[in-house]
Amino acid sequence: MHFHHHGYVSGDPRVQPAAGVGIDRPEELPDEVDVLIVGTGPAGMITAAQLAQFPGITTRIVERRPGRLAIGQADGIQARSVETFQAFGFAERITAEAYRITEMAFWKPDHEDPSRIVRAARAVDDEMGISEFPHLIVNQARVLDYFAEFMANSPARLRPDYGYEFQSLTVDDETQGGDNAYPVRVTLVNTAGENEGQERTVRAKYVVGADGARSKVRQSIGCKLAGDQANHAWGVMDVLAVTDFPDIRTKCAIQGEAGSILLIPREGGHLFRMYVDLGEVGAEDGRAVRNTTIEQIIAKADEILQPYTLDVRNIAWHSVYEVGHRLTDRFDDVLPEEAGTRTPRVFIAGDACHTHSAKAGQGMNVSMQDGFNLGWKLGHVLEGRSPESLLATYSGERQVIAKNLIDFDKEWSTLMAKKPEEFEDPSELEDFYVRTAEFPAGFMTQYAPSMLVAEPTHQGLATGFPIGKRFKSAPVVRVCDTNPLELGHQATADGRWRIYVFADAPEAGAPSRVAELAEWLAASPASPLAATPEGLDRDAWFDVKVIYQQGHTEIDINSVPAVFKPEVGPFRLTYLEKVYGVDHKADIFDVRGIDRGGAVVVVRPDQYVADVLPLTATDELAAFFAGNQLARRAEAV
């Protein structure tokens, strides 16, 4: 954690100094904002948390509820999400309070007595070592609490504005071109307090609709969810119970003669969730299945679990739903015939643009990646770092990912609903779970080439960092303090691009290509660092790190080029924590397939690999950033 560079910090270093709009932040919702986010679910809160790191931008997030969410419906936290939490500084704390999934058990009818279930198989949750981060179960409300804490501690001091419900919006095309224009007119209504029922108008430069499956923001921009409503219903309940079922604290897929259960243990040692199969629903049902009582759900679960019993003592939450898979064809307000003629002003994220079953544990996870993708892009455009065309990449990237999720979930939910006798192979369900582990863990996302993702021309220089996929961490040793750590864990959600320079190892007396690259980065007008405004630290927009092929004891810190040791803060202190050597127990060059001649790996602020280049490819590096940055050197914004 980086602090003290502006002077001694005696309090909690997670509380960053207030800056910009965070100084004397008004309590009341302003009439004009840069970004208005509607909805404090996972997509909205991570977008707000990212934008809270941009203190020059006025961001507000509104919520129709009068206060924080007390209990959330989502609870599955995939490894990619925990990796994201690491960037926001709370992975360790939320892991400590969560339930951790390490195995999944599969229960099926006993061959000798099919009315009874028996454990048929176990599967390790991450048998292939996809991530160093765990698969967790924790109440969605706690995830939102941690994002709220991060927002409040960020320079913009962002906090939700509760008690405002979105009604409608209009976009004034005539004012879109002005630098100070707020072209989106939003009508809100107070839902609580002395002004309950009163309408008010807020003007915004951009609006993000993260207001759920019944999104009014989506309706306002003419988007519709399209897809199928499956003919299968499930009851879901979070309960405290006494049972003799031996795997009650293990994630289980249970298939009995009477139906199926997906069992998810919850945090705290006692609570667990059950998705209980209520069977097929005919077209003539008319949603009557929604009237299934909690008593009926419990009775059905007890029937499926035979010969074991279930004595429910307390019900925290329950619901009934029918599986549906729906997706919008765009995630912003630009109509297909308008593509390329204007940039978006209104965006939708999370359940507002994709819905699916809960059993794949993807809803909250994919929604957060929507917000992480969008938040930094809005920040860069509004700060003048990047052109407005950057914003069109949000819909282009995330709509494809949502489609892939729905295709996966259709297959998984279909398998879960099958009766045991309908499987051609008795192990089909567990085989699918193991075979597809990388997808639900959140690591199959790979963005296509665009202004933000380069063609894989030089992919062979770093085969373990596929372009378009998230930057997969590996062990290194920091030279200045000899600490072994994970390289990827040193990247925080601060909106900066990362440039990882993997050094060559020239023979004695031969010129070092790293030294030549470092000189270009520091001094060339074509260097991306040259765009950093005067008055900001040299690493304010770009975090440049170097990883040498030697062990830390063989590296002379004084011989490391200055661009990897930037001067920071008002005292111009030298920051030494960007210089690394290999961990000989797991050499990152071998682990990630990095060419011994060296390589540059460019990583986006949302942790996805944007480019892989030779150390000598300064023209290509300059051209890449010229496509997504506004090349200028100006006064600090």
Same domain, 472 and 615: yes
Same domain, 420 and 385: yes
Same domain, 525 and 489: yes
- Say if 293 falls within a structural domain: yes
Task: Round to whole Å and give the CA distance between 584 and 477.
Answer: 9
Helices (runs of H) and strands (runs of E) counted in the chain: 12, 27
Q: What digits encode the pLDDT tens for the residues 195-214?
A: 899 999 999 999 999 999 89
Task: Round to whole Å and give the CA distance between 191 and 609.
Answer: 43
Task: Determine the pLDDT at residue 55.
Answer: 97
User: What's phi and psi for 41, nearest 5 deg?
Assistant: -75, -175
Closest to 570 (Cα-Cα) out of 544, 536, 542, 543: 536
Task: Round to whole Å and give the CA distance between 365 and 335.
Answer: 27
User: Residue 228: is its pLDDT beyond 90?
Assistant: no
Same domain, 35 and 147: yes
Confidence band for 231, pLDDT divided at 50, 70 and 90: low
Same domain, 150 and 259: no
Same domain, 364 and 313: no
Residues 6 or more apart whose Cβ sits within 8 Å of residue 502: 462, 546, 547, 588, 589, 594, 598, 599, 600, 601
Q: What digits encode the pLDDT tens for the residues 344-358?
A: 999 999 999 988 766
- Say if 454 falls within a structural domain: no
Task: Determine the pLDDT at residue 634.
Answer: 41
User: Residue 538: is its pLDDT beyond 50?
Assistant: yes
Q: What digits encode the pLDDT tens for the residues 77-131?
A: 999 999 999 999 999 999 999 999 999 999 999 999 999 999 999 999 887 778 9
Tell me the C-alpha to C-alpha distance, in Å, between residue 606 and each of 22, 406, 425, 493: 23, 22, 40, 7
**What CATH code is carried by the domain that includes residue 183?**
3.50.50.60
- Say if 635 falls within a structural domain: no
Q: What digits encode the pLDDT tens for the residues 27-73?
A: 999 999 999 999 999 999 999 999 999 999 999 999 999 999 988 77
**What CATH code is carried by the domain that includes residue 238?**
3.30.9.10
Is residue 188 within 8 Å of 166, Cβ to Cβ? yes
Same domain, 570 and 471: yes
Same domain, 109 and 119: yes
Q: How many CB atoms lie within 10 A of CB 474?
A: 22
Residue 618, helix vs strand vs coil: helix
User: Residue 150: is its pLDDT beyond 60?
Assistant: yes
Q: What digits encode the pLDDT tens for the residues 603-636?
A: 999 999 999 999 999 999 999 999 998 755 444 4
User: Structurally, how many domains does the chain consist of?
Assistant: 3
Indicate the pTM of the whole model. 0.93
Same domain, 583 and 493: yes
Domain span at residue 363 reads: 20-73+140-225+326-435
Higher-confidence residue of 544 and 174: namely: 544
Q: What digits encode the pLDDT tens for the residues 373-411?
A: 999 999 999 999 999 999 999 999 999 988 888 787 777
- Say if 8 falls within a structural domain: no
Q: What digits encode the pLDDT tens for the residues 423-473?
A: 777 777 777 767 777 766 778 899 999 999 999 999 999 999 999 999 999
Same domain, 532 and 476: yes
Same domain, 252 and 186: no
Task: Determine the pLDDT at residue 77.
Answer: 92
Task: Determine the pLDDT at residue 415.
Answer: 77
**Proportion of the chain above pLDDT 70, given as a percent:** 94
Same domain, 189 and 333: yes
CA dihedral 373, 375, 376, 378 (to 10 degrees): 120
